[in-house]
Protein backbone atom coordinates (compact mmCIF):
# COMPACT_ATOMS: atom_id res chain seq x y z
CA UNK A 1 0.00 0.00 0.00
CA UNK A 2 1.47 3.41 -0.94
CA UNK A 3 2.41 5.65 1.96
CA UNK A 4 -0.18 8.39 2.54
CA UNK A 5 1.02 11.90 3.36
CA UNK A 6 -2.47 13.45 3.56
CA UNK A 7 -5.09 12.64 6.28
CA UNK A 8 -7.79 10.23 5.13
CA UNK A 9 -10.64 12.65 5.86
CA UNK A 10 -9.01 15.31 3.68
CA UNK A 11 -8.45 12.71 0.93
CA UNK A 12 -12.16 11.94 1.00
CA UNK A 13 -12.97 15.59 0.45
CA UNK A 14 -10.45 15.90 -2.39
CA UNK A 15 -11.52 12.63 -4.04
CA UNK A 16 -15.29 12.43 -3.33
CA UNK A 17 -17.49 9.43 -4.07
CA UNK A 18 -17.27 5.65 -3.87
CA UNK A 19 -16.38 4.97 -7.51
CA UNK A 20 -13.37 3.01 -8.65
CA UNK A 21 -11.34 6.09 -9.55
CA UNK A 22 -12.15 7.94 -6.32
CA UNK A 23 -10.92 4.96 -4.28
CA UNK A 24 -7.89 4.48 -6.54
CA UNK A 25 -6.94 8.17 -6.29
CA UNK A 26 -7.21 8.13 -2.49
CA UNK A 27 -4.73 5.23 -2.38
CA UNK A 28 -2.47 6.61 -5.11
CA UNK A 29 1.05 7.86 -4.25
CA UNK A 30 0.73 11.36 -5.70
CA UNK A 31 4.06 12.41 -4.20
CA UNK A 32 5.74 10.58 -7.09
CA UNK A 33 3.96 12.80 -9.64
CA UNK A 34 4.53 16.46 -10.57
CA UNK A 35 1.34 17.34 -8.65
CA UNK A 36 2.81 16.33 -5.29
CA UNK A 37 0.78 15.34 -2.19
CA UNK A 38 -2.94 16.24 -2.52
CA UNK A 39 -2.82 18.28 0.68
CA UNK A 40 -0.97 20.97 -1.26
CA UNK A 41 -3.20 21.01 -4.33
CA UNK A 42 -4.81 24.36 -5.27
CA UNK A 43 -8.51 24.89 -4.68
CA UNK A 44 -9.33 25.12 -8.39
CA UNK A 45 -7.87 21.68 -9.01
CA UNK A 46 -9.90 20.26 -6.13
CA UNK A 47 -13.15 21.82 -7.37
CA UNK A 48 -12.61 20.67 -10.96
CA UNK A 49 -11.66 17.17 -9.80
CA UNK A 50 -14.75 16.98 -7.58
CA UNK A 51 -16.99 17.77 -10.56
CA UNK A 52 -15.11 15.21 -12.62
CA UNK A 53 -15.33 12.33 -10.13
CA UNK A 54 -19.02 12.84 -9.29
CA UNK A 55 -20.14 13.07 -12.90
CA UNK A 56 -21.46 10.16 -14.96
CA UNK A 57 -20.23 11.87 -18.13
CA UNK A 58 -16.68 10.98 -19.33
CA UNK A 59 -14.38 13.72 -18.05
CA UNK A 60 -10.71 14.09 -17.32
CA UNK A 61 -8.26 16.75 -16.18
CA UNK A 62 -4.79 17.56 -17.52
CA UNK A 63 -3.01 19.63 -14.89
CA UNK A 64 0.20 21.60 -14.71
CA UNK A 65 3.02 22.12 -17.24
CA UNK A 66 3.38 18.35 -17.73
CA UNK A 67 -0.40 17.93 -18.27
CA UNK A 68 -0.70 15.26 -15.57
CA UNK A 69 -3.79 13.10 -16.25
CA UNK A 70 -6.70 12.51 -13.84
CA UNK A 71 -9.97 10.91 -15.03
CA UNK A 72 -13.29 9.55 -13.77
CA UNK A 73 -14.99 6.15 -13.99
CA UNK A 74 -16.86 7.05 -17.16
CA UNK A 75 -13.52 7.43 -18.97
CA UNK A 76 -12.37 3.88 -18.21
CA UNK A 77 -14.12 2.24 -21.22
CA UNK A 78 -12.63 4.87 -23.51
CA UNK A 79 -9.14 4.19 -22.19
CA UNK A 80 -9.41 0.39 -22.27
CA UNK A 81 -7.23 -2.16 -20.56
CA UNK A 82 -4.16 -1.04 -22.49
CA UNK A 83 -4.18 2.30 -20.65
CA UNK A 84 -6.29 2.01 -17.49
CA UNK A 85 -5.12 2.26 -14.73
CA UNK A 86 -1.50 2.71 -15.84
CA UNK A 87 -1.96 6.24 -17.21
CA UNK A 88 -3.31 7.74 -13.97
CA UNK A 89 -0.91 10.45 -12.83
CA UNK A 90 1.12 10.24 -16.05
CA UNK A 91 1.78 13.09 -18.48
CA UNK A 92 -0.34 13.57 -21.59
CA UNK A 93 2.52 12.47 -23.82
CA UNK A 94 3.01 9.29 -21.78
CA UNK A 95 -0.72 8.51 -21.72
CA UNK A 96 -1.38 9.07 -25.45
CA UNK A 97 1.94 8.62 -27.28
CA UNK A 98 0.27 7.25 -30.41
CA UNK A 99 -1.75 10.46 -31.03
CA UNK A 100 0.28 13.09 -29.18
CA UNK A 101 1.81 14.56 -32.35
CA UNK A 102 -1.68 15.79 -33.25
CA UNK A 103 -3.21 16.13 -29.79
CA UNK A 104 -0.29 17.78 -27.98
CA UNK A 105 -0.13 21.01 -30.03
CA UNK A 106 -3.88 21.47 -29.55
CA UNK A 107 -3.55 21.14 -25.77
CA UNK A 108 -0.59 23.50 -25.65
CA UNK A 109 -2.53 26.01 -27.75
CA UNK A 110 -5.37 26.03 -25.21
CA UNK A 111 -2.86 26.43 -22.36
CA UNK A 112 -1.12 29.30 -24.13
CA UNK A 113 -4.14 31.25 -25.39
CA UNK A 114 -6.79 30.38 -22.81
CA UNK A 115 -9.26 29.70 -25.65
CA UNK A 116 -11.30 26.49 -25.57
CA UNK A 117 -10.97 23.96 -28.37
CA UNK A 118 -12.26 20.55 -29.42
CA UNK A 119 -13.48 18.35 -32.22
CA UNK A 120 -16.56 16.38 -33.30
CA UNK A 121 -16.65 12.81 -34.64
CA UNK A 122 -12.88 12.74 -35.07
CA UNK A 123 -11.31 9.46 -36.16
CA UNK A 124 -7.98 8.33 -34.74
CA UNK A 125 -6.06 5.16 -34.04
CA UNK A 126 -5.41 4.50 -30.35
CA UNK A 127 -4.09 1.69 -28.18
CA UNK A 128 -7.10 0.49 -26.20
CA UNK A 129 -8.30 -3.15 -26.21
CA UNK A 130 -6.07 -4.02 -29.13
CA UNK A 131 -3.20 -2.20 -30.88
CA UNK A 132 -4.17 0.85 -32.89
CA UNK A 133 -7.92 0.42 -32.81
CA UNK A 134 -9.80 3.02 -34.83
CA UNK A 135 -12.24 5.09 -32.75
CA UNK A 136 -14.30 8.24 -33.27
CA UNK A 137 -14.58 10.77 -30.45
CA UNK A 138 -16.26 14.08 -29.81
CA UNK A 139 -14.51 16.18 -27.19
CA UNK A 140 -14.12 19.70 -25.82
CA UNK A 141 -11.15 21.12 -23.95
CA UNK A 142 -11.66 24.14 -21.70
CA UNK A 143 -8.94 26.05 -19.80
CA UNK A 144 -9.05 26.19 -16.00
CA UNK A 145 -7.71 29.58 -14.97
CA UNK A 146 -5.63 30.07 -11.83
CA UNK A 147 -5.71 32.85 -9.30
CA UNK A 148 -3.17 34.88 -11.30
CA UNK A 149 -5.20 34.68 -14.52
CA UNK A 150 -3.01 32.09 -16.23
CA UNK A 151 -4.11 28.64 -17.34
CA UNK A 152 -3.35 26.08 -14.61
CA UNK A 153 -4.98 23.07 -16.25
CA UNK A 154 -7.35 21.74 -18.89
CA UNK A 155 -10.80 20.23 -18.36
CA UNK A 156 -11.82 17.78 -21.04
CA UNK A 157 -15.28 16.32 -21.67
CA UNK A 158 -15.54 13.63 -24.30
CA UNK A 159 -17.74 10.89 -25.68
CA UNK A 160 -17.11 8.08 -28.10
CA UNK A 161 -19.06 8.26 -31.36
CA UNK A 162 -17.58 5.18 -33.03
CA UNK A 163 -21.02 3.53 -33.37
CA UNK A 164 -22.21 6.38 -35.60
CA UNK A 165 -19.73 5.28 -38.23
CA UNK A 166 -20.77 3.00 -41.07
CA UNK A 167 -18.84 -0.28 -41.05
CA UNK A 168 -16.85 -2.17 -38.41
CA UNK A 169 -13.86 -0.70 -36.56
CA UNK A 170 -10.60 -0.83 -38.44
CA UNK A 171 -7.03 -1.40 -37.37
CA UNK A 172 -4.27 0.91 -38.50
CA UNK A 173 -2.24 -0.31 -41.44
CA UNK A 174 1.37 -1.11 -40.50
CA UNK A 175 3.86 1.69 -41.08
CA UNK A 176 7.53 2.19 -40.46
CA UNK A 177 8.61 3.71 -37.13
CA UNK A 178 9.00 7.49 -37.40
CA UNK A 179 6.79 7.81 -40.47
CA UNK A 180 4.11 10.55 -40.55
CA UNK A 181 0.70 9.98 -38.89
CA UNK A 182 -2.17 8.68 -40.99
CA UNK A 183 -4.53 11.09 -42.71
CA UNK A 184 -7.23 10.07 -40.26
CA UNK A 185 -5.09 11.25 -37.35
CA UNK A 186 -4.27 14.46 -39.19
CA UNK A 187 -7.96 15.37 -39.16
CA UNK A 188 -7.55 16.37 -35.52
CA UNK A 189 -5.41 19.30 -36.55
CA UNK A 190 -8.35 20.73 -38.52
CA UNK A 191 -10.77 20.57 -35.61
CA UNK A 192 -9.72 23.53 -33.48
CA UNK A 193 -13.20 24.92 -32.82
CA UNK A 194 -14.52 26.13 -29.50
CA UNK A 195 -17.81 24.32 -29.02
CA UNK A 196 -17.83 23.42 -25.33
CA UNK A 197 -21.52 24.24 -25.10
CA UNK A 198 -22.39 21.65 -27.75
CA UNK A 199 -21.38 18.74 -25.52
CA UNK A 200 -24.11 16.67 -23.84
CA UNK A 201 -25.86 19.10 -21.48
CA UNK A 202 -25.24 17.42 -18.12
CA UNK A 203 -25.72 19.53 -15.02
CA UNK A 204 -22.05 19.16 -14.08
CA UNK A 205 -20.90 20.30 -17.51
CA UNK A 206 -23.19 23.33 -17.37
CA UNK A 207 -21.96 24.28 -13.91
CA UNK A 208 -18.34 23.95 -14.97
CA UNK A 209 -18.94 25.92 -18.15
CA UNK A 210 -20.61 28.75 -16.21
CA UNK A 211 -17.75 28.80 -13.71
CA UNK A 212 -15.15 28.86 -16.44
CA UNK A 213 -17.00 31.59 -18.37
CA UNK A 214 -17.02 33.74 -15.24
CA UNK A 215 -13.34 33.01 -14.63
CA UNK A 216 -12.50 33.82 -18.24
CA UNK A 217 -14.44 37.09 -18.10
CA UNK A 218 -12.54 38.04 -14.93
CA UNK A 219 -9.23 37.10 -16.53
CA UNK A 220 -10.02 39.11 -19.67
CA UNK A 221 -10.94 42.14 -17.58
CA UNK A 222 -7.72 41.76 -15.58
CA UNK A 223 -5.77 41.48 -18.83
CA UNK A 224 -7.36 44.67 -20.17
CA UNK A 225 -6.59 46.51 -16.95
CA UNK A 226 -3.01 45.24 -17.12
CA UNK A 227 -2.64 46.46 -20.70
CA UNK A 228 -4.04 49.87 -19.80
CA UNK A 229 -1.71 50.06 -16.80
CA UNK A 230 1.31 49.12 -18.91
CA UNK A 231 0.39 51.68 -21.55
CA UNK A 232 -0.02 54.43 -18.95
CA UNK A 233 3.16 53.57 -17.07
CA UNK A 234 5.20 53.30 -20.27
CA UNK A 235 3.93 56.70 -21.45
CA UNK A 236 4.69 58.41 -18.13
CA UNK A 237 8.18 56.92 -18.02
CA UNK A 238 9.12 57.08 -21.69
CA UNK A 239 8.36 60.78 -22.25
CA UNK A 240 11.00 62.15 -19.84
CA UNK A 241 13.44 59.40 -20.85
CA UNK A 242 13.17 60.51 -24.49
CA UNK A 243 13.98 64.11 -23.57
CA UNK A 244 16.95 63.04 -21.43
CA UNK A 245 18.32 60.96 -24.28
CA UNK A 246 18.10 63.83 -26.73
CA UNK A 247 19.72 66.34 -24.36
CA UNK A 248 22.56 63.93 -23.62
CA UNK A 249 23.12 63.65 -27.37
CA UNK A 250 23.21 67.44 -27.68
CA UNK A 251 25.74 67.97 -24.85
CA UNK A 252 28.04 65.15 -26.00
CA UNK A 253 31.45 66.87 -25.71
CA UNK A 254 33.30 67.43 -28.98
CA UNK A 255 36.60 68.09 -27.18
CA UNK A 256 38.44 66.66 -24.21
CA UNK A 257 36.79 67.43 -20.88
CA UNK A 258 37.81 66.77 -17.30
CA UNK A 259 37.64 63.16 -16.05
CA UNK A 260 34.90 64.14 -13.59
CA UNK A 261 32.65 65.56 -16.33
CA UNK A 262 33.32 62.56 -18.56
CA UNK A 263 32.48 60.18 -15.68
CA UNK A 264 29.33 62.12 -14.90
CA UNK A 265 28.18 62.01 -18.52
CA UNK A 266 28.91 58.30 -18.73
CA UNK A 267 26.94 57.71 -15.55
CA UNK A 268 24.00 59.73 -16.83
CA UNK A 269 23.91 57.78 -20.08
CA UNK A 270 24.00 54.51 -18.17
CA UNK A 271 21.12 55.64 -15.96
CA UNK A 272 19.06 56.68 -18.96
CA UNK A 273 19.73 53.34 -20.64
CA UNK A 274 18.71 51.52 -17.47
CA UNK A 275 15.51 53.53 -17.22
CA UNK A 276 14.70 52.90 -20.88
CA UNK A 277 15.30 49.18 -20.38
CA UNK A 278 12.87 49.21 -17.45
CA UNK A 279 10.19 50.64 -19.72
CA UNK A 280 10.90 48.08 -22.44
CA UNK A 281 10.95 45.19 -19.96
CA UNK A 282 7.54 46.22 -18.67
CA UNK A 283 6.17 45.93 -22.19
CA UNK A 284 8.21 42.93 -23.32
CA UNK A 285 6.97 40.90 -20.36
CA UNK A 286 3.46 41.12 -21.77
CA UNK A 287 4.60 40.83 -25.40
CA UNK A 288 6.64 37.71 -24.75
CA UNK A 289 3.76 35.90 -23.09
CA UNK A 290 1.38 36.72 -25.95
CA UNK A 291 3.81 36.26 -28.82
CA UNK A 292 3.55 39.94 -29.83
CA UNK A 293 7.20 40.95 -29.78
CA UNK A 294 8.07 42.94 -32.90
CA UNK A 295 11.18 44.19 -34.68
CA UNK A 296 11.80 46.71 -37.47
CA UNK A 297 14.44 45.11 -39.68
CA UNK A 298 16.82 47.33 -41.63
CA UNK A 299 20.29 46.75 -43.13
CA UNK A 300 22.84 47.12 -40.34
CA UNK A 301 26.51 46.60 -39.55
CA UNK A 302 26.59 44.11 -36.67
CA UNK A 303 29.98 45.03 -35.16
CA UNK A 304 28.90 48.41 -33.67
CA UNK A 305 25.79 46.80 -32.19
CA UNK A 306 27.84 44.09 -30.46
CA UNK A 307 30.44 46.61 -29.32
CA UNK A 308 27.72 48.80 -27.78
CA UNK A 309 26.25 45.85 -25.88
CA UNK A 310 29.67 44.84 -24.56
CA UNK A 311 30.54 48.43 -23.59
CA UNK A 312 27.29 48.77 -21.68
CA UNK A 313 28.04 45.60 -19.69
CA UNK A 314 31.75 46.26 -19.09
CA UNK A 315 31.32 48.39 -15.92
CA UNK A 316 29.25 45.64 -14.26
CA UNK A 317 31.81 43.00 -15.25
CA UNK A 318 34.75 45.03 -13.95
CA UNK A 319 32.94 45.82 -10.71
CA UNK A 320 32.48 42.08 -10.13
CA UNK A 321 36.11 41.33 -10.96
CA UNK A 322 35.45 39.61 -14.28
CA UNK A 323 37.35 39.87 -17.55
CA UNK A 324 35.16 40.73 -20.55
CA UNK A 325 36.81 40.11 -23.92
CA UNK A 326 35.50 40.93 -27.38
CA UNK A 327 36.87 39.43 -30.58
CA UNK A 328 35.42 40.75 -33.86
CA UNK A 329 36.31 39.16 -37.18
CA UNK A 330 34.91 39.73 -40.64
CA UNK A 331 31.16 40.20 -40.44
CA UNK A 332 28.45 40.31 -43.09
CA UNK A 333 25.82 43.02 -43.29
CA UNK A 334 22.60 41.79 -41.70
CA UNK A 335 18.99 42.88 -41.69
CA UNK A 336 18.31 43.70 -38.08
CA UNK A 337 16.57 45.91 -35.59
CA UNK A 338 19.66 47.38 -33.93
CA UNK A 339 17.93 48.04 -30.62
CA UNK A 340 16.37 44.57 -30.51
CA UNK A 341 19.61 42.82 -31.43
CA UNK A 342 21.43 44.77 -28.74
CA UNK A 343 18.67 43.72 -26.34
CA UNK A 344 19.36 40.06 -27.17
CA UNK A 345 23.07 40.49 -26.53
CA UNK A 346 22.44 42.47 -23.35
CA UNK A 347 20.29 39.63 -22.01
CA UNK A 348 23.01 37.06 -22.79
CA UNK A 349 25.80 39.20 -21.35
CA UNK A 350 23.78 40.06 -18.27
CA UNK A 351 23.24 36.37 -17.55
CA UNK A 352 26.92 35.61 -18.17
CA UNK A 353 28.05 38.30 -15.72
CA UNK A 354 25.38 37.37 -13.18
CA UNK A 355 26.23 33.66 -13.10
CA UNK A 356 30.04 33.94 -13.29
CA UNK A 357 31.86 34.22 -9.93
CA UNK A 358 34.56 36.85 -9.29
CA UNK A 359 37.82 36.03 -11.04
CA UNK A 360 36.06 34.40 -13.98
CA UNK A 361 35.64 35.63 -17.50
CA UNK A 362 33.21 36.27 -20.33
CA UNK A 363 34.27 36.15 -23.97
CA UNK A 364 32.30 37.39 -26.97
CA UNK A 365 33.30 36.26 -30.47
CA UNK A 366 31.76 37.72 -33.64
CA UNK A 367 32.35 36.45 -37.15
CA UNK A 368 30.96 34.84 -40.29
CA UNK A 369 29.57 31.33 -40.36
CA UNK A 370 27.40 29.52 -42.87
CA UNK A 371 26.79 32.63 -44.96
CA UNK A 372 25.57 34.58 -41.97
CA UNK A 373 26.56 36.28 -38.71
CA UNK A 374 27.64 34.22 -35.71
CA UNK A 375 27.81 35.73 -32.21
CA UNK A 376 29.10 33.52 -29.40
CA UNK A 377 28.93 34.44 -25.70
CA UNK A 378 30.99 32.07 -23.54
CA UNK A 379 31.47 32.32 -19.77
CA UNK A 380 33.31 30.40 -17.06
CA UNK A 381 30.36 30.54 -14.68
CA UNK A 382 28.24 27.93 -12.98
CA UNK A 383 26.65 26.54 -16.17
CA UNK A 384 23.60 24.32 -15.83
CA UNK A 385 22.69 20.66 -15.50
CA UNK A 386 21.84 18.63 -18.64
CA UNK A 387 18.23 18.12 -17.53
CA UNK A 388 17.65 21.89 -17.59
CA UNK A 389 18.58 22.10 -21.28
CA UNK A 390 15.02 21.58 -22.58
CA UNK A 391 13.65 24.35 -20.33
CA UNK A 392 16.47 26.79 -21.06
CA UNK A 393 14.40 29.18 -23.20
CA UNK A 394 11.05 28.68 -21.44
CA UNK A 395 9.55 31.84 -19.85
CA UNK A 396 9.59 32.18 -16.06
CA UNK A 397 11.95 29.22 -15.71
CA UNK A 398 15.29 29.32 -13.92
CA UNK A 399 17.46 26.41 -12.86
CA UNK A 400 17.24 27.59 -9.27
CA UNK A 401 13.65 28.00 -8.11
CA UNK A 402 12.04 28.88 -4.80
CA UNK A 403 12.98 31.29 -2.03
CA UNK A 404 16.54 30.01 -1.62
CA UNK A 405 17.80 30.81 -5.11
CA UNK A 406 20.98 32.87 -5.20
CA UNK A 407 20.15 35.10 -8.18
CA UNK A 408 17.22 37.36 -8.99
CA UNK A 409 15.26 37.99 -12.15
CA UNK A 410 11.97 36.87 -13.67
CA UNK A 411 13.45 34.23 -15.94
CA UNK A 412 12.24 36.07 -19.06
CA UNK A 413 15.54 37.14 -20.61
CA UNK A 414 16.28 34.02 -22.65
CA UNK A 415 12.64 33.57 -23.68
CA UNK A 416 12.56 37.13 -25.02
CA UNK A 417 15.96 36.64 -26.68
CA UNK A 418 14.78 33.55 -28.55
CA UNK A 419 11.64 35.28 -29.86
CA UNK A 420 13.65 38.29 -31.01
CA UNK A 421 16.28 36.19 -32.76
CA UNK A 422 13.57 34.23 -34.55
CA UNK A 423 11.99 37.53 -35.65
CA UNK A 424 15.33 38.24 -37.34
CA UNK A 425 15.14 34.94 -39.21
CA UNK A 426 17.90 33.39 -37.13
CA UNK A 427 18.34 30.94 -34.29
CA UNK A 428 19.80 30.84 -30.80
CA UNK A 429 21.23 27.89 -28.90
CA UNK A 430 22.73 27.34 -25.48
CA UNK A 431 24.84 24.62 -23.98
CA UNK A 432 26.84 23.66 -20.92
CA UNK A 433 29.06 20.74 -20.01
CA UNK A 434 27.52 20.71 -16.54
CA UNK A 435 27.36 22.61 -13.28
CA UNK A 436 30.34 24.90 -12.60
CA UNK A 437 31.69 24.32 -16.11
CA UNK A 438 30.44 27.49 -17.79
CA UNK A 439 27.90 28.05 -20.54
CA UNK A 440 27.99 29.00 -24.21
CA UNK A 441 25.24 30.73 -26.16
CA UNK A 442 25.32 31.20 -29.92
CA UNK A 443 23.20 33.56 -32.03
CA UNK A 444 23.12 33.17 -35.81
CA UNK A 445 21.52 35.63 -38.25
CA UNK A 446 21.38 35.37 -42.06
CA UNK A 447 23.60 37.73 -44.03
CA UNK A 448 22.28 40.17 -46.63
CA UNK A 449 22.62 39.63 -50.37
CA UNK A 450 25.22 41.67 -52.28
CA UNK A 451 22.67 44.02 -53.82
CA UNK A 452 21.44 44.92 -50.33
CA UNK A 453 25.04 45.59 -49.30
CA UNK A 454 25.40 48.12 -52.11
CA UNK A 455 22.19 49.89 -51.11
CA UNK A 456 23.31 50.24 -47.51
CA UNK A 457 26.81 51.37 -48.51
CA UNK A 458 25.26 54.20 -50.55
CA UNK A 459 23.21 55.28 -47.58
CA UNK A 460 26.30 55.49 -45.36
CA UNK A 461 28.02 57.88 -47.76
CA UNK A 462 25.63 60.69 -46.86
CA UNK A 463 27.83 61.83 -43.95
CA UNK A 464 26.97 63.37 -40.60
CA UNK A 465 24.27 65.84 -41.75
CA UNK A 466 21.99 63.15 -43.14
CA UNK A 467 18.83 65.28 -42.95
CA UNK A 468 20.31 68.27 -44.79
CA UNK A 469 17.45 70.46 -46.06
CA UNK A 470 14.65 68.13 -44.87
CA UNK A 471 11.69 70.21 -43.60
CA UNK A 472 10.25 68.64 -40.45
CA UNK A 473 7.04 69.57 -38.64
CA UNK A 474 7.45 68.41 -35.02
CA UNK A 475 4.20 68.18 -33.03
CA UNK A 476 4.42 67.48 -29.28
CA UNK A 477 2.81 69.06 -26.23
CA UNK A 478 5.85 68.42 -24.02
CA UNK A 479 8.26 71.39 -24.26
CA UNK A 480 11.33 69.37 -23.26
CA UNK A 481 10.65 66.83 -25.99
CA UNK A 482 10.06 69.53 -28.61
CA UNK A 483 13.24 71.42 -27.80
CA UNK A 484 15.55 68.40 -27.41
CA UNK A 485 14.32 66.58 -30.53
CA UNK A 486 14.40 69.75 -32.63
CA UNK A 487 17.97 70.44 -31.54
CA UNK A 488 19.13 66.95 -32.49
CA UNK A 489 17.39 67.08 -35.88
CA UNK A 490 18.84 70.52 -36.64
CA UNK A 491 22.33 69.26 -35.80
CA UNK A 492 21.82 66.75 -38.63
CA UNK A 493 20.79 69.43 -41.11
CA UNK A 494 16.97 69.37 -40.78
CA UNK A 495 14.83 72.53 -40.82
CA UNK A 496 12.42 72.07 -37.94
CA UNK A 497 9.21 73.90 -37.05
CA UNK A 498 7.68 72.91 -33.73
CA UNK A 499 3.98 72.95 -32.80
CA UNK A 500 2.66 72.28 -29.29
CA UNK A 501 -0.87 71.31 -30.37
CA UNK A 502 -2.92 69.91 -33.23
CA UNK A 503 -4.37 73.37 -33.86
CA UNK A 504 -0.92 74.93 -34.29
CA UNK A 505 0.17 72.03 -36.51
CA UNK A 506 -2.81 72.47 -38.84
CA UNK A 507 -2.09 76.18 -39.09
CA UNK A 508 1.54 75.46 -40.00
CA UNK A 509 0.48 72.95 -42.67
CA UNK A 510 -1.90 75.46 -44.26
CA UNK A 511 0.88 78.05 -44.32
CA UNK A 512 4.00 76.09 -45.35
CA UNK A 513 5.13 72.87 -47.03
CA UNK A 514 6.97 70.14 -45.15
CA UNK A 515 8.77 66.94 -46.12
CA UNK A 516 7.97 65.00 -42.91
CA UNK A 517 5.68 65.30 -39.90
CA UNK A 518 6.79 63.83 -36.55
CA UNK A 519 3.76 63.76 -34.29
CA UNK A 520 3.03 62.79 -30.69
CA UNK A 521 -0.15 60.80 -30.00
CA UNK A 522 -1.22 61.63 -26.44
CA UNK A 523 -1.89 65.38 -26.43
CA UNK A 524 -4.51 67.43 -24.59
CA UNK A 525 -7.71 68.60 -26.35
CA UNK A 526 -6.89 66.83 -29.61
CA UNK A 527 -4.66 63.77 -30.02
CA UNK A 528 -2.43 62.65 -32.86
CA UNK A 529 -5.03 60.28 -34.33
CA UNK A 530 -7.46 63.14 -34.80
CA UNK A 531 -4.72 65.37 -36.21
CA UNK A 532 -3.59 62.89 -38.88
CA UNK A 533 -7.20 62.40 -39.96
CA UNK A 534 -7.59 66.16 -40.50
CA UNK A 535 -4.21 66.41 -42.22
CA UNK A 536 -5.29 63.84 -44.80
CA UNK A 537 -8.34 65.97 -45.66
CA UNK A 538 -6.48 69.28 -46.11
CA UNK A 539 -5.63 68.74 -49.77
CA UNK A 540 -3.42 66.81 -52.13
CA UNK A 541 -0.13 68.05 -50.67
CA UNK A 542 -1.06 67.20 -47.07
CA UNK A 543 -2.59 63.90 -48.15
CA UNK A 544 0.84 62.85 -49.42
CA UNK A 545 2.83 64.15 -46.44
CA UNK A 546 4.89 61.31 -44.89
CA UNK A 547 4.07 61.22 -41.19
CA UNK A 548 5.43 59.26 -38.23
CA UNK A 549 3.76 58.72 -34.88
CA UNK A 550 6.43 59.64 -32.31
CA UNK A 551 4.95 58.32 -29.12
CA UNK A 552 5.48 56.74 -25.74
CA UNK A 553 2.64 54.31 -26.52
CA UNK A 554 4.76 51.37 -27.64
CA UNK A 555 2.58 48.26 -27.62
CA UNK A 556 1.98 46.24 -30.78
CA UNK A 557 -1.64 47.39 -30.86
CA UNK A 558 -0.44 51.02 -30.66
CA UNK A 559 1.62 50.48 -33.79
CA UNK A 560 -1.33 48.95 -35.63
CA UNK A 561 -3.64 51.75 -34.58
CA UNK A 562 -1.17 54.44 -35.70
CA UNK A 563 -0.76 52.83 -39.12
CA UNK A 564 -4.51 52.41 -39.51
CA UNK A 565 -5.07 56.07 -38.59
CA UNK A 566 -2.91 57.29 -41.48
CA UNK A 567 0.69 57.37 -40.23
CA UNK A 568 3.30 55.65 -42.40
CA UNK A 569 5.60 54.89 -39.48
CA UNK A 570 5.49 54.33 -35.71
CA UNK A 571 8.62 55.51 -33.84
CA UNK A 572 8.78 54.83 -30.08
CA UNK A 573 10.09 57.66 -27.94
CA UNK A 574 12.62 55.21 -26.50
CA UNK A 575 14.39 55.24 -29.91
CA UNK A 576 18.06 56.21 -29.87
CA UNK A 577 18.84 59.56 -31.60
CA UNK A 578 20.82 57.86 -34.39
CA UNK A 579 17.92 55.51 -35.07
CA UNK A 580 15.49 58.43 -35.11
CA UNK A 581 17.62 60.09 -37.79
CA UNK A 582 17.65 56.86 -39.82
CA UNK A 583 13.88 56.46 -39.59
CA UNK A 584 13.17 60.06 -40.61
CA UNK A 585 15.60 59.77 -43.52
CA UNK A 586 13.77 56.66 -44.72
CA UNK A 587 10.43 58.43 -44.31
CA UNK A 588 11.54 61.58 -46.16
CA UNK A 589 12.68 59.57 -49.17
CA UNK A 590 9.08 58.54 -49.70
CA UNK A 591 7.84 62.13 -49.80
CA UNK A 592 6.76 61.94 -53.42
CA UNK A 593 4.85 58.71 -52.97
CA UNK A 594 1.10 58.87 -52.31
CA UNK A 595 -0.08 57.75 -48.91
CA UNK A 596 -1.49 54.23 -48.88
CA neighbor of 100 nearest in space, from 66, 70, 130, 129 = 66
Over residues 154-171, mean pLDDT: 63
Over residues 519-528, mean pLDDT: 90
Per-residue confidence (pLDDT) for residue 341, from 0 to 100: 93
Over residues 465-492, mean pLDDT: 89
β partners of residue 549: 519, 570
- Distance of alpha carbon 207 from alpha carbon 52, whole angstroms: 11
Per-residue confidence (pLDDT) for residue 175, from 0 to 100: 44
pLDDT grade for 302, boundaries at 50, 70 and 90: very high
Per-residue confidence (pLDDT) for residue 102, from 0 to 100: 77
DSSP helix/strand/coil, 5:
coil
Per-residue confidence (pLDDT) for residue 594, from 0 to 100: 31
Share of the chain above pLDDT 70, in %: 72
pLDDT grade for 104, boundaries at 50, 70 and 90: confident
Query: The dihedral of CA 385, 389, 390, 392: what is its sign?
Result: positive
Helix (H) or strand (E) holding 177: none
The CA-atom distances, in angstroms, between 361 and each of 305, 317, 349, 353, 460 are 21, 9, 11, 8, 35
What's the CA angle centered on 560, arms 555 and 561, to 5 degrees?
Answer: 95
- Distance of alpha carbon 250 from alpha carbon 264, whole angstroms: 15
Q: Which of 42-51, 389-398, 555-564 has the highest mean pLDDT?
A: 42-51
Domains of the chain as residue ranges with CATH? 8-171+180-200 (3.30.450.20), 231-288+465-596 (3.40.50.2300), 293-461 (3.30.565.10)
pLDDT tens, 270-295? 777 767 766 666 666 555 545 556 77
pLDDT tens, 387-432? 777 667 765 445 444 333 344 344 567 878 887 888 888 888 888 8
Over residues 82-89, mean pLDDT: 91
Over residues 108-128, mean pLDDT: 78
Choice among 20-24, 81-85, 259-263, 500-504 with the minimum mean pLDDT: 259-263
Say if residue 548's pLDDT is above 80: yes
pTM of the model: 0.39
Over residues 350-368, mean pLDDT: 93
Choice among 33-42, 138-147, 339-348, 510-519 with the minimum mean pLDDT: 138-147
Say if residue 99's pLDDT is above 70: yes
Query: The dihedral of CA 219, 225, 228, 230: what is its sign?
Result: negative
pLDDT grade for 230, boundaries at 50, 70 and 90: low
Per-residue confidence (pLDDT) for residue 231, from 0 to 100: 57
Burial label for 120, CB within 10 Å (0-12, 13-18, 19+), is middle
Output 541 or 308, whichever has higher pLDDT: 308
- Distance of alpha carbon 580 from alpha carbon 481, whole angstroms: 13
pLDDT tens, 175-219? 444 444 443 333 333 333 332 333 344 454 455 556 556 655 665
Mean pLDDT taken over the chain: 77
| Terminal-to-terminal C-alpha distance of the chain | 73
Amino acid sequence: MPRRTTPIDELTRIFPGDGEQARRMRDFDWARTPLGPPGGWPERLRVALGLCLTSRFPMHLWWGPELTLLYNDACIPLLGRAKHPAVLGRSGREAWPEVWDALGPMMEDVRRTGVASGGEDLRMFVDRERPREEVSVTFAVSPVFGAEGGVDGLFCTLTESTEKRVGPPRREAPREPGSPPTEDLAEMDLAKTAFFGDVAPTRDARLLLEAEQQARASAEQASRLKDEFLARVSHELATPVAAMRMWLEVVRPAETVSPLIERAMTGLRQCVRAQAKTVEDLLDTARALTGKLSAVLEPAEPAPIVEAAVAAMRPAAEKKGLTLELSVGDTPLVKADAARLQQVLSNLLSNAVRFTPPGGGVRVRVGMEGGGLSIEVRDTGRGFAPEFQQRLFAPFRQEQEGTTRTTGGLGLGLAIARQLVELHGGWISGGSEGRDRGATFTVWLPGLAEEDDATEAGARESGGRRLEGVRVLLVDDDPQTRESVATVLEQHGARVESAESATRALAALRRDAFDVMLCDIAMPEEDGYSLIHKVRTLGARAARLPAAAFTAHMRAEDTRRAMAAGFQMHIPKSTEPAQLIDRLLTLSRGASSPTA
